[in-house]
Amino acid sequence: MIPDLPANIEQIKGFLAADEGAALYRHAQAARALGPVLEVGSYCGKSTLYLGLACRDGGTVYALDHHRGSEEHQAGEMFHDPDLYDSGEALVDTFREFRRNIRTAGLDDTVVPLVSSSDVVARHWRTPLGMVFIDGGHSLDAALLDYRCWSCHLVQGGILAVHDLFPDPYEGGQAPWAIYQMALASGLFAEVERVNTLGILRRL
C-alpha cells in the first residue's frame, strides 16, 4: 500500500504499470538515504509521483525531461497525443500536465523539475545520486546518452532502474535492453530484480 497515491493514478497519462510503479516506490524509499533520486524521462509525471511519494519525508527527486516528447510522441507517430500538442508552437508540450499532476499530489517541495536534455544538465552535475531511473528517449543514441550521463553519478549501493525492457525484439524496442545489458557487462552493477518491463540494478 502506497500512502497518498492519487486515486486517479491509472488515468494519468503515461506508460508505467502499477507493479512497476510499486517497485519504483519501494526502491526509491530505500535509496533516498544514499542521495537524491534522478528520473530521466518524466512525461506527464506518472512515474514521478511514485518516486516523489517515496521521497516526500526526507528526499528529493530531480525530474529531468525536455517535455517535447520522445520520437514516438511526435505528430503522426504511434503514441502521439493531440491533447499534449501546442499548435501555436507546433511542438509537443507535456510540462503543463506534469506540473499539474505534481502540484495536485502535493509534491512541489519534493520534486525538482529539470527542463532540458541529459547532456546539458549533466555537463556540470556534481551531486552523487542514490537512484537513477532511465525512461527517456528509446532510440539507441538517446538511451546511450542517458546511461552515460547518469550511471556514473550513482553512489555505491545506489539503484539503476531502466524501463521498457524487451529481450524479444518482436515485443518492443531494443535500446533500453541494450543499456541494461551494457550495465551488467560493465561489472559495476548486479541485477536485483525484474518487474514486468522494469529492471533494477544495484551499483557495486
9-203, what's its fold? Answer: Rossmann fold (3.40.50)
Instruction: Reply yes or no on whether 138 is catalytic.
Output: yes
Please report the pLDDT score of residue 173 as a whole number.
84
Span 74-107, pLDDT tens digits? 555 555 555 655 555 555 688 899 999 999 999 9
Q: Which of 64, 77, 81 is nearest to 13 (CA)?
A: 81
Q: Which of 14-18, 70-74, 91-95, 143-147 has the lowest mean pLDDT?
A: 70-74
Span 101-134, pLDDT tens digits? 999 999 999 999 999 999 999 999 999 999 999 9
Q: Where are the domains of the chain?
A: 9-203
End-to-end C-alpha distance for the chain, whole angstroms = 29
Q: Where are the beta strands (DSSP E) in 102-171?
A: 111-114, 129-134, 154-162
Residue 115 DSSP SS3: coil
Out of 27, 67, 73, 138, pick the active-site residue: 138
Residue 114 DSSP SS3: strand
Span 158-170, pLDDT tens digits? 999 999 999 998 8
